Protein backbone atom coordinates (compact mmCIF):
# COMPACT_ATOMS: atom_id res chain seq x y z
CA UNK A 1 0.00 0.00 0.00
CA UNK A 2 1.19 3.52 -0.74
CA UNK A 3 2.67 5.24 2.30
CA UNK A 4 2.69 8.99 2.92
CA UNK A 5 5.60 10.76 4.60
CA UNK A 6 4.99 13.14 7.47
CA UNK A 7 6.09 16.03 5.26
CA UNK A 8 3.67 15.05 2.48
CA UNK A 9 0.84 14.69 5.02
CA UNK A 10 1.48 18.23 6.27
CA UNK A 11 1.52 19.65 2.73
CA UNK A 12 -1.63 17.76 1.71
CA UNK A 13 -3.51 18.98 4.80
CA UNK A 14 -2.54 22.57 4.00
CA UNK A 15 -3.62 22.27 0.38
CA UNK A 16 -6.85 20.43 1.23
CA UNK A 17 -7.81 23.20 3.66
CA UNK A 18 -8.27 25.41 0.58
CA UNK A 19 -11.06 23.21 -0.81
CA UNK A 20 -14.21 25.13 0.13
CA UNK A 21 -17.32 23.41 1.42
CA UNK A 22 -15.71 19.99 1.81
CA UNK A 23 -15.71 18.02 5.04
CA UNK A 24 -12.85 15.63 4.21
CA UNK A 25 -11.00 16.83 1.10
CA UNK A 26 -7.81 15.26 -0.12
CA UNK A 27 -5.32 14.70 -2.89
CA UNK A 28 -6.49 12.34 -5.64
CA UNK A 29 -4.02 10.38 -7.73
CA UNK A 30 -5.26 8.65 -10.84
CA UNK A 31 -4.59 7.67 -14.40
CA UNK A 32 -3.09 10.23 -16.72
CA UNK A 33 -3.15 10.61 -20.49
CA UNK A 34 0.63 10.28 -20.20
CA UNK A 35 1.20 6.52 -19.79
CA UNK A 36 4.25 7.11 -17.57
CA UNK A 37 2.64 9.59 -15.18
CA UNK A 38 -0.29 10.23 -12.93
CA UNK A 39 -2.96 12.90 -12.72
CA UNK A 40 -2.94 14.66 -9.34
CA UNK A 41 -5.70 16.97 -8.13
CA UNK A 42 -7.25 18.36 -4.98
CA UNK A 43 -10.78 17.13 -4.54
CA UNK A 44 -13.60 17.41 -2.03
CA UNK A 45 -14.08 13.66 -1.71
CA UNK A 46 -13.00 10.33 -3.18
CA UNK A 47 -14.69 8.87 -6.24
CA UNK A 48 -16.55 5.58 -5.75
CA UNK A 49 -13.98 2.78 -5.84
CA UNK A 50 -11.03 4.93 -4.74
CA UNK A 51 -8.71 3.58 -2.08
CA UNK A 52 -8.39 6.10 0.78
CA UNK A 53 -5.11 6.48 2.65
CA UNK A 54 -5.01 8.66 5.75
CA UNK A 55 -2.05 9.97 7.68
CA UNK A 56 -2.03 12.62 10.40
CA UNK A 57 -5.31 14.10 9.20
CA UNK A 58 -4.39 14.13 5.51
CA UNK A 59 -6.22 12.06 2.92
CA UNK A 60 -4.97 10.60 -0.37
CA UNK A 61 -7.43 9.04 -2.79
CA UNK A 62 -6.10 6.48 -5.30
CA UNK A 63 -8.13 5.45 -8.30
CA UNK A 64 -8.17 1.77 -9.19
CA UNK A 65 -5.55 2.14 -11.95
CA UNK A 66 -3.09 3.80 -9.55
CA UNK A 67 -3.44 1.31 -6.68
CA UNK A 68 -1.29 -1.52 -8.12
CA UNK A 69 1.28 0.88 -9.56
CA UNK A 70 1.79 2.65 -6.23
CA UNK A 71 1.47 -0.27 -3.81
CA UNK A 72 5.21 -0.32 -3.00
CA UNK A 73 5.80 3.45 -3.16
CA UNK A 74 6.13 6.30 -0.67
CA UNK A 75 4.70 9.75 -1.43
CA UNK A 76 6.78 12.72 -0.34
CA UNK A 77 6.42 16.47 -0.90
CA UNK A 78 8.81 19.37 -1.23
CA UNK A 79 7.99 23.07 -1.20
CA UNK A 80 10.32 25.20 -3.31
CA UNK A 81 9.81 28.88 -4.02
CA UNK A 82 6.09 28.66 -3.25
CA UNK A 83 5.50 25.59 -5.42
CA UNK A 84 4.74 22.08 -4.25
CA UNK A 85 6.41 19.11 -5.87
CA UNK A 86 5.32 15.59 -5.05
CA UNK A 87 7.65 12.67 -5.55
CA UNK A 88 7.39 8.91 -5.37
CA UNK A 89 10.10 6.55 -4.26
CA UNK A 90 10.32 2.89 -3.37
CA UNK A 91 9.45 2.13 0.22
CA UNK A 92 12.49 1.39 2.33
3-state secondary structure of 77: strand
pLDDT in tens, 37-60: 889 999 999 999 999 999 999 999
Instruction: State yes or no: pLDDT of 80 exceeds 90.
Output: no
Instruction: State yes or no: pLDDT of 78 exceeds 70.
Output: yes
Model confidence, pTM: 0.91
pLDDT in tens, 31-42: 887 767 889 999
Query: How far apart are alpha carbons 21 and 86 in whole angstroms?
Result: 25
Amino acid sequence: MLTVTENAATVIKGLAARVEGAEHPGLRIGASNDAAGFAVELTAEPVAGDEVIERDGSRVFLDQTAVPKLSDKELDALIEEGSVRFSLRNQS
